[in-house]
Amino acid sequence: MRARSRLFPYAVVVPFAVVLAFPFAWMAITSLKSNAQVYNPANTWSFHPTLSSYGFLFHHTGYVTWLKNSSFVGLMVVLITLAIAMPAGYALARLAGHVGRGLGVGIFLTYLVPTTLLFLPLSRVVAQYLHLEDRLWALVVVYPSFTIPFAVWLMMGFFKTIPPELEDAALIDGCSRLQALARVVFPISVPGILTVVIFTFSLVINEFVYAITFISSASNRTLAVGVPTDLIRGDEYNWPGIMGSIVLVSVPLALVYNAFLNRFIAGFTGGAFR
Amino acid sequence: MAVVTVRRGSRRRLRYVAERRGFLATLLISPAVLFIGALVGAPLVLAIYLSFTDASGGSLTGKWIGLANFRSAVDNPIFRGALWHTILFTVISQAIVVVCAGLLAHALVRAFQGRWFLRFFILLPWAAPIALTATGWYWIYGAGIPQASVLNWFLVHLHIVGSTGGLNWLGTPRAAMSSIITVQAWRTIPFATVIFLAGISSIPQEVDDAAAIDGATGLRKFWHVSLPLQLPIAIVAVLFGIIFTATDMVVPYILTNGGPFNSTHVLTTWAFQVGIVSSNVGEGAAIALFMLPLLAVVTIGMLFFARRAEVT
């Protein structure tokens, strides 16, 4: 009986892990084949590994440019999001009481309004009023519309876990409320802020609908759009290269994600269930 | 005497802070509210406005044509197909997710060796950008060449199909629908697992102990104690999954783009096709707006269960 219950987690988790991670294993294997081998079923598992597809990826495609574009947009959006969401999250957690809770939930609900509902009007606004058609800045301006609600919610959850007594002590010592915020609250929220940075960045890397609607030239694409459109619908299919491009981005992102997951859960559920 | 002054002073100070608090809160929250109002609220209103006009590509205004866009959308059999596929895509994928994530969460909540390592693999589909992994799946499904599909290699070598056989995973209507549902379930399982896990771990040890003292064990304990306590959080996670699946465009767009023969169009890909590719902005907006009632219902459900979760 005891042995059986000790085996239970493995019996469930191992098969799931194999199935869920298999696509990545297959992508990694494909990326090590030569382009001539990939269509041949006889070469499914036995082949001469080569890194040539990675050379192709870096020297003959827009991959490096897309990587830079995605990083640029990610960085700018993270900065804007933090500047707006940190104060708002703090205020909602501390200062605004019951009204604050309602407002917090309200802001969070806007996160549920999907990009697929807004991309049509926004594509016209971006082109006609902002004159940002086919510019990365269009993404920098529009992306905070979904990162801010998400980040405000997370920040609110984190700030609720910091005891108000800490700020009260700072206030008694003669700090103003803003000083208390800058010198006491923000420094001890660094782990929470880092979590928001990582999940905001990953939302940006993931975004597809706006990026494919607002950007038209290959040199301004982001990773999420460049890989499925230009690498697939280009003249030459290079499946090993495409698979390499996916593995190179996914695995590091997943490692960071995993490291911050527990904090993410605390913030995500903390805002709602505390 | 001295005591009275101190008290009066502190009261004044309190009121002073209270007033400043309201002011400060407004100051800190308003940038977020303004940003969201400008880039979520305004476009939403604009989308509703556009759906009543004949606006086409390159313009934001058009002649008011009433419900004509909605009528022409509903009259199109592709739209009715898309509505049905959206329901199938959402319901089936999320049903799979609930079962798998429930099992996984109950296994992962226990401490066992190698848990961190295995959790990493389980999280991979969620952590990787979906536009990229969907492209990976496109290749796994054979990218239009059945013999190149690794899934067919398994089918052949497990002797499920003959050596020349194998499915054209994205090329036949039934198989294509199943294929996109599989990918959507695959990418949502980790998220649901993680939130279910949070729900299970949030049950205090005291509750467990009390249930044990009262003689509840095994399935009875699960049914009468653990399940009701974790249900609200689990339902919130499922509602999340429903919203993100029903409004998702990436998986169907990259894998099938509505094909073959429009057999896998969902509301989002069809709105994109009509509104952007065919430049019929008004009708595209009308199609996308069919998601709104679903959003409203799910949101109300979410608010209800989030409050339940807070109470317990």
A127-168 pLDDT, tens digit each: 888 889 899 999 999 999 999 999 998 898 888 888 888 888
| A141 contact residues in B (CB cutoff 8 A) | 39
Mean pLDDT over residues A63-74, rounded?
A: 95
DSSP string, B59-128: -S---B-TTHHHHHHHH-HHHHHHHHHHHHHHHHHHHHHHHHHHHHHHHHTS--TTHHHHHHHHHHHHHS
Q: By CA distance, what is B60's nearest residue in A?
A: A124
Q: pLDDT at position B311, please?
A: 43
Mean pLDDT of chain A: 87
Q: Over 50: is that where the pLDDT of A215 sits?
A: yes
Q: pLDDT at position A20, please?
A: 95
Please tell me the number of Cα atoms within 13 Å of A234 on its side-chain side: 18
Given a contact cutoff of 8 angstroms between Cβ atoms, the answer to whether A74 and A205 are in contact is yes
Query: Confidence class of residue A25 from pLDDT cuts 50, 70 and 90?
Result: very high
Q: Over 90: is that where the pLDDT of A273 sits?
A: no
Q: pLDDT at position A60, please?
A: 85
Q: pLDDT at position B4, please?
A: 47
Enter the pTM of the model: 0.88
B86-117 pLDDT, tens digit each: 999 999 999 999 999 999 998 988 888 888 88
Instruction: Mark the ranges of chain B whose per-residue pLDDT is less than 70.
Output: 1-21, 57-60, 163, 309-312
Q: pLDDT at position B287, please?
A: 94
Q: pLDDT at position B59, please?
A: 67
Is residue A209 within 8 angstroms of chain B, CB to CB?
yes
Q: Torsion over CA of B125, B126, B130 and B136, rounded to 10 degrees?
A: -10
Q: Which residue has the higher pLDDT, A5 or B248?
A: B248
**3-state SS, residue B53:** strand
Given a contact cutoff of 8 angstroms between Cβ atoms, the answer to whether B265 and B271 are in contact is no
Residues 49-78 of A with CB under 8 A from B: none
Nearest to A249 by CA among A205, A203, A217: A205
- Most A CBs within 10 A among B16, B139, B248, hence the mutation to make, goes to B139
Is residue A126 within 8 angstroms of chain B, CB to CB?
no
Query: Confidence class of residue A221 from pLDDT cuts 50, 70 and 90?
Result: very high
Is residue B34 within 8 angstroms of chain A, CB to CB?
no
Q: pLDDT at position B116, please?
A: 84
Q: Over 80: is that where the pLDDT of A61 sits?
A: yes
> Is B153 in Cβ contact with A114 (below 8 Å)?
no
Is residue B33 within 8 angstroms of chain A, CB to CB?
yes
Q: pLDDT at position B21, please?
A: 67
| A9 contact residues in B (CB cutoff 8 A) | 107-108, 110, 112, 115
Given a contact cutoff of 8 angstroms between Cβ atoms, the answer to whether B127 and A21 are in contact is no
> Is B119 in Cβ contact with A258 (below 8 Å)?
yes
Is residue A24 within 8 angstroms of chain B, CB to CB?
yes
C-alpha A237/C-alpha B143 separation (Å) is 10
Q: Which residue has the higher pLDDT, A46 or A194?
A: A194
C-alpha B312/C-alpha B307 separation (Å) is 9
Residue linked to tokens 């054209």: B168
Q: pLDDT at position B109, please?
A: 85
Q: Using alpha carbons, list the distances in angstroms from residue A33 to A44, A51, A52, B31, B152.
A: 10, 8, 8, 51, 19
Q: pLDDT at position A235, please?
A: 59
Closest Cβ opposite residue A41 in set B58, B103, B147: B147
Q: Is B10 exposed, middle or buried (0-12, 13-18, 19+ CB in 10 A)?
A: exposed
Q: pLDDT at position B167, please?
A: 83
Is residue A125 within 8 angstroms of chain B, CB to CB?
yes
A104-118 pLDDT, tens digit each: 888 888 988 899 989
